[in-house]
Amino acid sequence: MKSTKSTREERIARALLLNGSFSEREGVTQLNITSGRNEISDIERKLNIKVNRVWEKTADGLGQYYRYSIANKRQAYKVMKHANRLALARDGEPFNATETRAILARFKGEI
């Protein structure tokens, strides 16, 4: 029986595309994921890309965490195709044509 629940990897891929970036803190508060590092690494390895990484400090300045973002339109396209494959594998909804155009329009470069 197929799971209808999206995988951690799919949720992070979608967050990267829809929000423009993903932080480990957002993973905890919004996606119920304690750390997204492994999934980010898996996405990079599977798609042969390298996402941007920036250290951010917590509001109190005592902690820090990574914020990950997609570098360009080509990467966004690869991540979108991957997220769509993951969604279709569980009989979920992939990004439609309108969503695809809107998301890709936010990134610079060519596909």
Give the model confidence (pLDDT) of 60-110 as tens digits.
Answer: 989 899 999 999 999 999 999 999 999 999 999 999 999 999 999 999 999
In the chain, the amino acid numbered 16 is L
Return the structure tokens found at 24. Answer: 């480990």
Question: Going from the N-terminus, what domains does the chain have, and what CATH number goes with each?
Answer: 8-106 (1.10.10)
DSSP letter (8 states) at residue 106: T
**Dist CA 102 CA 94 (whole Å):** 14
Sign, CA dihedral 102-79-30-69, equals: negative
pTM given for the model: 0.89
Residue with the two structure tokens 């195709």:
81
Q: What is the pLDDT of residues 31-71, one digit of tens each?
A: 888 878 899 999 999 999 999 999 999 889 898 999 999 99
Largest CA distance in the chain: 46
